[in-house]
Structures are given as C-alpha cells and as structure tokens.
Structure 1
Amino acid sequence: MATESPLKGLIPELDVEKEMKRWSHLFKVLSEPEPKVGHTPRNEVWRKNKSTLWHYQAKQKKYGIPLFFVYSLFNKPYILDIAPKASVIEGLTNMGYEVYLLDWGSPGYEDKKIGLDTYIEKYLNAAVKRAIRHSGAEEITLIGYCLGGTIASIYTAIAEEPIKNLIVATVPIDFKPFIGPDQWAEGMRNGDINIDGFIDTYGIVPPQLVDGMFRAIGAPIYFTNYTMLLSRAHDQRYVDKWRRMNKWTLDQVPFAGEAYRQLAYDLFKENKLVKGELMVGNKKADLKNITANLFVVSGSRDNLILEEQSKPIMDLASSEDKTFISVEAGHVSLALSGLFAKIVDQWASSRSNPL
C-alpha cells in the first residue's frame, strides 16, 4: 500500500521545461558580445599622458556656464554615458548644457609615482583651464561623482579658476565612517596593513584587487548579480540593463601607487580633509575656502558611501548657497538610470546663466 510523503505540497514541483528555458536564456546572455557604451557624440579637446578631456556639445545651447565632470579614479566614467535614454551626459546635452568629462585613463606601472596632488595640480587644473578656454565661458560648474567628488572638492578649495558651482554626488568627505570589514579599517588605521610595502613592490594597485575590494565592501550584493540574471533572463529590458551594469562593474582600472598611498594615509587614516589639514603641493586644501554654490546629493540606498560621509561638507564649506538632498537611489543606480541628469538640471538651471 502506497503512502504519501509528508513533504508533499511543501516542496514545489520542478517545471523542467520552464527551467530549461531559464538556463537557455542565461547561457545566451552570457555568450553574447559585450554591449556598446558611450553613445553620445564627443570630441577630444585635451590630452595628458593617459588622461583625456572630452567635450559633448549641447543639442541646443541654453546655458552660458558649462558642466565639467570629475569621475572616480577607481572606475571608468562611461557609467555616465551607459546607454541611450539612460545616459546622464546625453540627458544634460539634450537639456542645453555644454558638457566636459575628464577621463583619467588607466595608469600603467610607469605612472606609479603619480599622486593625488599630481592628478589635481597637473591634470585637473590644466583640464579645467582648457575647458574654460574652449567653451569661451567666464565660469564653470564642477560635478564630482564618488571619489571624483572628493577630488573636485579638494580642487575647488585651492583653485584660482572661476568655479561658480560645485555639485558632488555619493561623495566621501569624512572618511571616519566605513562600510566594509571592520578588520580592514582597524588594520589600516593601526598600521597592521603594510600599504607602503605593497605599493613599493607592485607600483600600482591592480584592477583585480580593486574589484575584490568593492566585492567585499558590497557583499552580498556583488555576489547575487548572476542569481538575479538567472531569475529574469527572459526579460530583455532587464537583461540589457544588467549586461551594461555587469560590464562596467567588471571593468576596473589600476590605481596609481602613490595616489593610493595618499588616499590611504591622508584621507582614510588621518582624515585630513575634514580636519582642514590636507596639503596639495604647497597649498592647504581647507574646505572653508569653498565659496562656490554647493549642491550635495546622497543616495538613501547607497551601499558604499554613507550620508554621514557626505554631509560634513555642508558645514565646512563657506558657500552662501548650499543645498543637500537625499534621493531614493543606490551608489550606481543614480547614474545608471540617468536620474542624476534630471537632479542636476533642477538645481543648476537657475545657476548656469540661462541664455
């Protein structure tokens, strides 16, 4: 006499045909050529070593003050121009802004001595001057994303160039709060992690290590992307977005050794930016020197940069016009969705000399 299993009804029956289709979709997605990125037309207007300054012309120019993007040294900036109709840069040029983007490029071993101060004084400074001259404008707006926001803030604190507006998003200013393994923070701040030995030996931080760091900090999110793809591989719109995001996530760049050393010691360990003690060459990068109109954007679902890391610049800067907002977005989705373009326009349109 047959008996029914007590587990019947508790474990769903496997739909073999459905599962075969699911895995077939997944293999198809993973075997396709990489998606194209960087759709918005652009022109090279300046180059130094590996770095390039790109100009994106406004579809119909409506503002006299151009936008100048400073992106992070950790990642490639094409996240800002990831896909048609979801591109931050395309959105802003369609709204009437002239846009410039400084692409730092990928440093090689020969660039191991380039420090943060060199990037700021020799690269960013020269690129901003070139953008002002190229645009014919009398002032410029700097927009910094992630570590690019930190660099843009440091530069604005020492710049002699006419920076009217400073916009920073998902920006670390106070490096005391930390998302990631506690042992990392303790080891770095106590000197247990031998950064000097590593940099002196390898010269640059390889992209594989950069990728590993972000995976550890973002866990378990970084480890669930293929699981999410498996469950939604039949959804073409989701797949297209996933493939572009996955390409960018895996496309890490090396980090110049001396720049990483300064980042680790001056910013992360000593927190000199918040203390007003950071030196860039022979200049003190005190954030109280910032008088440009200031706009700070934080993501409520940001799993890398906390709101409390970004907010201190609001008290430290001397700007009379200061705005802070928190939007429902993650660290990357703010740019990936193109939402950032609309947020920038809402604030910058009245501060960019409308024509």
Structure 2
Amino acid sequence: MLPFLTMHLPFTRATSAYTEMTKKVMQGIEHLSHLREEDIAIGVTPKETIYHEDKITLYHFQPIAEQPLNIPVLIVYALVNRPFMVDLQPDRSLVANLLKLGLDVYLIDWGYPTRADRWLTLDDYINGYINRCVDCIRQRLNSDAINLLGICQGGTFSLCYCAIYPQKVKNLIVMVAPVDFQVPNALLNMQGGCTLGAEALDIDLMVDALGNIPGDFLNLEFLMLKPWQLGVQKYLDFIDIMDSEEKLINFLRMEKWIFDSPDQAGEAYRQFLKDFYQGNKLIKGEVRIGDKPVHLSHIRMPVLNLYAEKDHLVMPASSLALEQYVGTADYTVRSFPVGHIGMYVSSRVQQILPPVIGDWLKARVEA
C-alpha cells in the first residue's frame, strides 16, 4: 500500500496546487468584477493648479500638518512616464509623507506632448518651463530661493538648472539621478548609444522620421532591460496575489502608471540622448542649454544625493559621480537597498526616505 501512496503523492500535490490556484483566480475575477476606475486612481493627494502653460501644470499640494513649515519644495520629475509615481497611493506616497512632515510641496506635471510640441528643446524645458515655475513659487512666497527635488531625468534637469540659476535655489536634492552616462555595465546607457554613439542608435534618423518619440517605444526599451522579470514573471506571479483585493489594486495601480507613457518632444529627446548619453557632456562641462553653459562646479548650494543600491536604470555609480563635479562643500549622500521603482513604492523606504529629506532640509533652512 505504501508504494501506491508514494507513487500518487506528486499527483496529489499537483491537484492541490491546481485547486488552490483556481480558487485564487476565481477570487481575483470576483474582485475585478466590481473594481471601478477610481479604485485604482493615482495622484490623489489634494492639490491646486497655481500655474499653467502649454502642456505643463504646476501643482501646489494642500498642507496637512497641524503646524506646516515654510519650506517650499518643488519636485521636478522625468519627462518619461507620469510624475504621480511620487503620489501612488495614500500609504505609499512620497508627497503625502513630506506633507505630514510639514513641508510645502509643489510638483511640475509635464503633461502629454503632441505633434505641435516636437520642436520643444531642453532650453524650453529648463530655461523656460522650470525657470518660470520656480519664479512663480518665489513670487507666491516672496522668497529669493526655493528648494528643488529632482527625480531621475528630472534630477539631471535640476542639476542643469542649479548650475545656471544658483541664486534661485537654496538647497538641491537629487534622487536616482543620472550624472555620468558612461559607467560600465549600464544597459540603459548602452541602448542610448553611450559606447558606440550613432552606430548604436542614430538619434537624428529616429527624430527626423518620427517627430516625437512614442511613449510605447520607451516603455518597450525599459522592459527589454529585464525582459523575463518585467514581461513574463510578474504576470505569472500575478496569480498568487489575485485573492487579495489590496494587493490586486496595488498591482493595477503600478500597471496603470507604467503604461501611461507620454510621447517625448523630438528635439528635446535628440539633445538629451546626444549630449548626455552619447557625448557624456554633463560631467565634461560641455552641455549648453540654449545659450547658457552648464558647469556642475557652479552648484555651490547644499546637495543631498539619494540613490538606490539595486537600481538597474540609473546605476549607483552614475549617481555617485556627482560628488566629483559639484562645487559645494555641503554634500550628503544616502543610499537605500532597493531598485529604481522601490524608491517610490517600497513601504519600508517610505518610512525612512521622507524623514531623511525633511531633516536634511530643516537643518539647512534653520541654519
């Protein structure tokens, strides 16, 4: 009798696993059947529009602390994807957590460029939109300078801005921001042509042919950096969370953000890829935004550099290179044991990161 039972044990386990999987799928279908669009809404922290120009919107978030501090922070996000990864949901929101600490938070939403915007340049984005948003906040608060928090490509933009307009920024925070675009083993940099230039990726041909760069193209580029994990494995793992409505909604929020990808203004994309990725001109002091040169050594305000130790999009070495080039004597660096997206959505990081930012700013504002 024992050999018979032993022989059928794998079959019994397989049957049990299949039954359990079926239950999860059925529960998941039940959860999905009554979900509404508003159930997976992101960027829901209350805010008001205080400036609007072309496709961009400058938001001011409603203070929630009983005694808010007069420390204005402008968040500058990347052009890729939507900026509301910093406000994904109430319990995983960098914005909400900064507000709880009493900070006064603003955010630039780049919107959705259309064919009419294909000629926008980095000059338009940095000397134009960012500069006017900064001026709007300065005038609103009757302040000479504000604090910038630049994230990913928005961090690179913020570095350029601070090098050009140092008098308008009191403190600079950059988070998972690329600085050196030719660090070894950086797959995204290689795809951008940092090693072979136009032989790897002919930016001129792409922009001349397409005008704006489709958001779907960029999404595919990011997915192909980890094709199995991001294109297959996460959907196989999806079955395991379908019986949990909370985890299901979290998953759908992430998917909604990932695939909400605006097109990129062609000329701005051309310059960013050619000057930053292929030419690595930022650390060489050769970048020009419009008629203004960018020298990182002109950044003399306090700098807080935050990076993700497991980042596959912006390698730690790319962010850490900043220390070699900035002119400030007040430079702080902090790392977190997560990947690029984990900086926004990791519940543990969201317990630690906002206080790091808040304490660092308060020490320098009150100094």
| TM-score normalised per structure 2 | 0.89
Do structure 1's residue 242 and structure 2's residue 248 form an aligned pair?
no
- For structure 1, which segment, 69-78 or 325-334, has the greater mean C-alpha deviation from structure 2 after superposition? 325-334
Cα distance in 1 for residues equivalent to 2:174 and 2:71? 17
- What amino acid is the match of 2:210? Y
Q: Which of 42, 63, 81 matches 1:75? A: 81
Match of 1:288 in 2: 297
Give the 3 Å change call, closer, same or farther, for CA 188–46 of structure 1 in structure 2.
Answer: farther
Conserved? CA contact 1:65–1:139, under 8 Å: no
Return the alpha-carbon distance in structure 2 between the equivalents of residues 185 and 227 of structure 1: 33
In the TM superposition, residue 190 of structure 1 has moved relative to its aligned partner by 4.4
The structure where helix makes up a greater share of residues is 2
* Mapped partners of 1:194, 1:227: distance in 2: 36
Distance in 2 (alpha carbons) for counterparts of 1:215 and 1:30: 25
Distance in structure 1 (CA, Å) of the matches to 2:23 and 2:355: 38
CA contact (8 A) 1:67 1:97 kept: yes
2:149 to 143, 165, 172: 143
Task: Return the match for 2:41 from 30, 36, 53.
Answer: 36
Q: Residues 183 and 37 from structure 1, CA distance in 2 versus in 1: closer, same or farther, beyond 3 angstroms? A: closer
Aligned residue identity for 2:223? R
The answer to whether 1:53 aligns with 2:58 is: yes
Percent identity between the two aligned chains = 28
Alpha carbons of structure 1 residues 160 and 257: separation in structure 2 relative to 1, 3 Å: same
> Distance between the aligned counterparts of 1:160 and 1:40, measured in 2?
30
Match of residue 215, structure 1, among 205, 215, 223 = 223
Q: Given the alignment, which residue of 202, 206, 210 partners 2:214?
A: 206
Look up the SS of the partner of 2:81 in the other structure.
Answer: coil
Distance 1:168 1:143 in 2: 6
CA displacement, residues 59-92 of structure 1 (integer Å, 9 cap, x when unaligned) = 2454333101000000101111111122111111
Residues 66 and 352 in structure 1, CA contact (< 8 A), matched pair in contact too: no
Distance 1:7 1:199 in 2: 63
The alpha-carbon deviation at position 29 of structure 1 amounts to: 5.2
2:332 equivalent among 323, 327, 332: 323
Change (3 A) 1:187 1:199: farther
- SS of the aligned residue for 2:314 comes to coil
Alignment of 1:290-305 (within 5 A): 290-305=299-314
User: Residue 15 of structure 2: SS of its match in structure 1?
Assistant: coil
Q: CA deviation at 1:8?
A: 5.1
The equivalent residue for 1:306 is 315
Deviation for aligned residue 1:30: 5.3
Q: 1:250 to 1:30 in 2, by over 3 A?
A: farther
**Correspondence list, 1:95-174, <5 A:** 95-174=101-180
* Counterparts of 1:134 and 1:158, CA distance in 2: 22
Q: Aligned pair in 2 of structure 1 residues 352, 335: CA closer, same or farther (>3 Å)?
A: farther
Q: What CA distance in whole angstroms lies between the structure 1 residues aligned with 2:167 and 2:29?
A: 52
Q: How far does the alpha carbon of each residue in 1:32-67 deviate from its partner, in whole angstroms, 9 at most, with x for none?
A: 334112221111111110000001132245433310
Tell me if the contact between 1:52 and 1:103 (Cα under 8 Å) persists in the aligned partners: yes
Rounded to whole Å, the distance in 1 between the matches of 2:142 and 2:211 is 39
Gaps of 5+ in 1: none
| 1:275 counterpart = 2:280 | no
TM-score scaled to structure 1, two decimals? 0.92
State how far apart, in whole Å, the 1-side matches of 2:151 and 2:210 are. 28
Check whether the contact 1:61–1:98 (CA below 8 A) recurs between aligned residues.
Answer: no
Whether 1:257 aligns to 2:266 is: yes
CA distance in 1, matches of 2:313, 2:90: 26
Q: How far did residue 5 of structure 1 move?
A: 10
Of 87, 90, 96, the residue aligned with 1:90 is: 96
